């Protein structure tokens, strides 16, 4: 019997809706395994801007640091979309990732047999797809300095984002990917744009060095434009993909199409020890907020990853994943996973998952 303290950051839009359902599943799965969970809710994102003027306060970050793990919903929405606003919900997410030093973002892409017909890609291309994207999460274009707006000498408006990586930042995430590949099909595909970007040439150099230390693992390199094509054309070729922050952001939205919906993909963000951060890869979905129809599966599976990576509760994590398969195999679908009869609400879908939890 063990106990874990988890900080919940429901955030904005459908975040609170899917997180509440994920918690129901986690509580039942933990209890089945003889464990107890303590949950504390905190503000992050647009809701935090409204209440305290910043997307992530120092107090909330400190609480997250002191927890065993952090489970997040989603942030953002039209209310906070003013491009001139000083505080933006997404800043909270970035500050949290940086503050927890979770440099490796794991995004498993799995095509579940029951959902092969939901993807717009032909079923014979995607049957059995099961790969893992490891996205660098605390560096690159998202964090490079300078990041500024100003005027050119001749009076035009200009904007600058900087793409910078050090060998140390690359090495630690690539090593992470190799460790994960060792427990999978022993193949790493590194994605970069080394034909154009200096930072990508460093990325490739470091990746080759790391690869040389792992002769048992096959390493290949793809340019990001080619990779984006192969993910659709021959997605079964991939085992572990490792890539930088920006490329990983884009490629995982693309990859979610294979799985049938953004509402299916969970993620885990991990560093060297310290609490992990878990969140669905989808956003706050303002168009369906408050309707109770969001797909809870990504949030539920993020909870399973939390059990696995932060708590070491592997059996319980697998039980949750099996319960999700059981619910989907039985034909249960939320509105994003159509066509398939009458769509279930967020809560009804979760009830089906709970029903499959042995
Ligand atoms: C994601 C999201 C975020 C990102 C946004 C909301 C800042 O798209 O987690 O993929 O770009 O990292
Ligand atoms: Mg994204």
Q: Is the CB of 244 under 6 A from ligand 1?
A: no
Inter-residue contact 295 to 260 (CB < 8 Å): no
The closest residue, in CA terms, to atom 7 on ligand 1 is 90
Whether residue 110 is contained in a domain is answered as no
123 with 80, same domain: the answer is no
Whether residue 217 is contained in a domain is answered as yes
Tell how strand 104-110 and strand 268-270 pair up.
Answer: antiparallel
**Sorting pLDDT into bands at 50, 70 and 90, what band is 83?**
confident
142 with 245, same domain: the answer is yes
Q: Which one from 12, 110, 142, 165 is the annotated catalytic residue? A: 142
Which residues are CB-contacts of 299 (< 8 A; sequence separation ≥ 6)? 18, 19, 21, 22, 71, 73, 266, 280
239 with 349, same domain: the answer is no
Whether residue 112 is contained in a domain is answered as no
- pLDDT attached to residue 338: 78
Specify which residues 162 forms β-bridges with: 144
Inter-residue contact 251 to 241 (CB < 8 Å): yes
Mutate to test the pocket of ligand 1, among 283, 286, 298, 299 (most ligand atoms within 8 A of CB): 283
Instruction: Record the pTM.
Output: 0.97
pLDDT digits (tens, 9 = 90+) for 267-323: 999 999 999 999 999 999 999 999 999 999 999 999 999 999 999 999 999 999 999
Query: CA nearest 293: which of 255, 250, 336?
Result: 336
| Residues in the chain, total | 358
253 is catalytic: yes
d(CA 107, CA 135): 8
d(CA 304, CA 315): 10
**What is the Cα Rg of the chain in Å?**
20
Q: Which helix (H) or strand (E) holds 176?
A: helix 167-182
155 with 223, same domain: the answer is yes
d(CA 266, CA 116): 18
Whether residue 291 is contained in a domain is answered as yes
Ligand nearest to the CA of 13: 1
1 with 91, same domain: the answer is yes
249 is catalytic: yes
Q: How many domains does the chain have?
A: 2
Whether residue 111 is contained in a domain is answered as no
Domain boundary among 222, 244, 259: 259
pLDDT digits (tens, 9 = 90+) for 92-146: 999 999 999 999 999 999 999 999 989 999 999 999 999 999 999 999 999 999 9
Which residues are CB-contacts of 208 (< 8 A; sequence separation ≥ 6)? 219
Inter-residue contact 89 to 46 (CB < 8 Å): yes
Instruction: Break the chain down into helix, strand, coil percent, rounded to 5.
Output: 45, 20, 35
d(CA 248, CA 244): 6
d(CA 171, CA 213): 12
Three-class secondary structure of residue 159 per DSSP: strand
Whether residue 181 is contained in a domain is answered as yes
Specify which residues 189 forms β-bridges with: 220, 241
133 with 166, same domain: the answer is yes
Q: Which one from 244, 249, 309, 336 is the annotated catalytic residue? A: 249
Whether residue 346 is contained in a domain is answered as yes
Q: Is the CB of 133 under 6 A from ligand 1?
A: no
Q: HSE-up of 127 (CA within 13 Å, CB side)?
A: 3
Q: HSE-up of 17 (CA within 13 Å, CB side)?
A: 23
Per the structure, the complete domain to which residue 98 belongs is given by 1-105+265-358
Domain boundary among 204, 233, 259: 259
Rounded to the nearest integer, the mean pLDDT of the chain is: 97
273 with 337, same domain: the answer is yes
337 with 224, same domain: the answer is no
Domain boundary among 198, 224, 259: 259
Other Cβ atoms closer than 10 A to 208: 13
3 with 98, same domain: the answer is yes
pLDDT digits (tens, 9 = 90+) for 175-212: 999 999 999 999 999 999 999 999 999 999 999 999 99
239 with 311, same domain: the answer is no
Phi, psi (rounded to 5 degrees) for 240: -120, 125
347 is catalytic: no
- pLDDT attached to residue 340: 62
Whether residue 113 is contained in a domain is answered as no
pLDDT digits (tens, 9 = 90+) for 211-227: 999 999 999 999 999 99
Q: From residue 128, give the alpha-carbon distance in Å to each of 111, 184, 236, 260, 302.
A: 6, 14, 7, 13, 21
58 with 136, same domain: the answer is no
How deeply is 228 buried, as exposed, middle or buried, from its count of CB atoms within 10 A (0-12, 13-18, 19+)?
A: middle
248 with 272, same domain: the answer is no
CATH number at residue 318: 3.40.718.10
């Amino acid at each position: 019997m063990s106990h874990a303290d988890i900080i919940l950051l429901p955030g904005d839009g459908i975040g609170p809706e899917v997180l509440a359902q994920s918690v129901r599943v986690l509580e039942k799965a933990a209890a089945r395994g003889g464990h107890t969970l303590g949950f504390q809710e905190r503000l992050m994102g647009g809701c935090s801007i409204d209440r305290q003027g910043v997307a992530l306060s120092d107090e909330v970050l400190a609480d997250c640091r002191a927890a065993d793990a952090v489970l997040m919903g989603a942030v953002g929405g039209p209310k906070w979309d003013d491009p001139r606003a000083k505080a933006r919900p997404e800043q909270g997410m970035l500050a949290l990732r940086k503050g927890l030093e979770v440099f490796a973002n794991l995004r498993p892409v799995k095509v579940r047999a029951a959902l092969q017909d939901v993807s717009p890609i032909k079923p014979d291309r995607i049957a059995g797809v099961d790969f893992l994207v490891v996205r660098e999460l605390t560096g690159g274009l998202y964090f490079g300095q300078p990041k500024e707006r100003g005027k050119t000498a001749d009076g035009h408006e200009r904007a600058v984002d900087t793409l910078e990586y050090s060998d140390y930042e690359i090495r630690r995430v690539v090593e992470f990917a190799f460790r994960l590949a060792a427990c999978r099909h022993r193949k790493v595909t590194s994605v970069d744009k080394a034909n154009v970007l200096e930072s990508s040439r460093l990325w490739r150099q470091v990746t080759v060095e790391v690869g040389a230390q792992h002769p048992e693992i096959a390493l290949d390199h793809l340019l990001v434009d080619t990779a984006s094509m192969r993910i659709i054309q021959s997605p079964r070729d991939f085992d572990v993909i490792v890539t930088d922050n920006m490329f990983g952001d884009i490629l995982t939205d693309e990859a979610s199409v294979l799985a049938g919906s953004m509402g299916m993909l969970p993620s885990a963000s991990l560093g060297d020890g310290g609490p992990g951060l878990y969140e669905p890869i989808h956003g706050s979905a303002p168009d369906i907020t408050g309707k109770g129809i969001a797909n809870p599966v990504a949030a539920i599976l993020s909870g399973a990853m939390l059990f696995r990576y932060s708590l070491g509760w592997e059996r319980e994590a697998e039980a949750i994943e099996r319960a999700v398969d059981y619910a989907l195999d039985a034909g249960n679908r939320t509105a994003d996973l159509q066509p398939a009869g009458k769509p279930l609400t967020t809560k009804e879908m979760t009830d089906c998952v709970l029903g499959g939890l042995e």
